[in-house]
Amino acid sequence: MVLTKNLLVASSFCFLLAACGGNETVEDTTKPVSNEPISLEDARAVYTLNCASCHGPDGTLQASNAKDLSVSKLNEGEIEHMIRKGNDKGMMPYEEMLSTAEIKGVVKFVQNLRK
């Protein structure tokens, strides 16, 4: 009788452990901060999410007085500076919102919008 009871306790303990083990496999959704360069496709996604509302998918929209990126003459460093710091004419600063890798990727993407 005592033995049976112990077995029962032991098996329910195992069951609890299994349940706990199951919880550990829950996916961690927090993104690791990485400075690995991002692909042009990923850069397009970042651009679409953050920039297309003013600049349009091809850079030419000019909503909210945004500049046409397809005719921009800024060099790589100037584009990066603009994205990081923004300016007082309506361009927003993205330094706090995007990682360095994302900014560098978007700089390349912006350069690719030129005709």
Site of interaction with ligand HEC (CB under 6 A):
50-51, 53-55, 64-67, 69, 72, 74, 79, 82-83, 87, 89-92, 94, 106, 110
**73, 83 Cβ separation under 8 angstroms:** no
Residue 102 beta carbon to ligand HEC: minimum distance, rounded to whole angstroms: 8
Q: How far is the CB of 91 from ligand HEC (least distance, A)?
A: 3
CA distances from 83 to 12, 26, 62, 68, 71 (A): 58, 36, 16, 14, 17
> Environment class of residue 67 by beta-carbon count within 10 Å: exposed (0-12), middle (13-18) or buried (19+)?
middle
Of residues 7 and 114, the one with the C-beta less far from ligand HEC: 114
Q: Which is nearer to ligand HEC, 55 or 104 (CB)?
A: 55
Taking a C-beta distance cutoff of 8 angstroms, is the pair 113, 69 a contact? yes
In whole angstroms, the minimum distance from the beta carbon of 109 to ligand HEC comes to 7
At closest approach, how far in Å is the CB of 72 from ligand HEC?
Answer: 3
